[in-house]
Amino acid sequence: MEGLEPRLAKLARNGDRDAFRELVQLYKDRIYHLAYRMLGNAQEAEDVVQDTFLRVYTNLDRYDDTHKFSTWIYRIGTNLCIDRLRKRKSTLSLDAESSEGEGIDGHDMLSSPDPLPEQQLVLSETQQVIRDAIEKLPAKYKSIVILRYLHDMSLQEISDVLNMPITTIKTRVHRGREALRKKLDHQHFF
């Protein structure tokens, strides 16, 4: 039996915007949380959600419905986040005003995690330590740790999303877990 998402994707491909809206409803939270944790910033998380769905929409013809829709959309979302992290790195020394925004310079774009939404949640001291530890992980470990523990994916699913051999994913999960343990240990957390 055809699953819900492939059916909605097929309808959306034929121009049914309500079907696409349903796909947005189904996945917006997951992509937002992925992007928020990857980028540590609410505005960028929103932008990634926008860009992800725009790409999904414009590439519906290329979606192969023998594969899971979730794998496809997570791949698009994760790649967009990784691109943004790469761009931040390459603009690290930028003092000049950005061409993307008025009065925004490189430092603003590199701003540390947006404190507002999580202040509303009132993070415990422990959670702040965890958030910072995840935030500081190199991107190649960060994406894997987030998919594994915040999105409950298996190693195989992560391998499918990132299009990498499962042996690479295993090694990175191990290293990511060790890096986080070390950071927490360093903070005398244990």
The minimum distance between CB 69 and another protein, in angstroms, equals: 16
According to DSSP, the residues that pair with 97 across neighbouring strands are 105
Mapped onto helix, strand or coil, the DSSP state of residue 105 is strand
Q: Which is nearer to another protein, 82 or 150 (CB)?
A: 150
- Residue with smaller CB distance to another protein, 105 or 132: 132
| Dihedral (CA of 65, 71, 74, 80) sign | negative
What are 176's two structure tokens? Answer: 């990511």
- Least distance in angstroms from the C-beta of 157 to another protein: 12
From residue 54, alpha-carbon distances to 19, 39, 49 in Å are 14, 19, 8
* Interacting residue ranges for another protein, rule: CB under 8 A: 13-15, 17, 20-21, 24-25, 28-29, 32-33, 36-37, 42, 45-46, 49-50, 53-54, 57-58, 60-61, 117-118, 120-121, 123, 126-127, 130-131, 134, 145, 149-150, 155, 170, 173-174, 177, 180-181, 184-185, 190
Q: Closest distance between another protein and the C-beta of residue 92, in Å?
A: 25
Minimum Å distance from CB 84 to another protein?
17
Nearest CB to another protein, comparing residues 90 and 188:
188
How many helices and strands in the chain, by DSSP H and E?
10, 0
- Residue closer to another protein by CB (options 89, 154) is 154
Q: How far is the CB of 167 from another protein (least distance, A)?
A: 11
- CB of 57 or CB of 82, closer to another protein: 57
Q: What 3-state DSSP class applies to 169?
A: helix
Contact by Cβ (8 Å): 48, 77: yes
Report the distance separating Cα 5 and Cα 11, nearest Å: 10
Distance, in Å, from the CA atom of 146 to the CA atom of 130, rounded to the nearest integer, reads 12
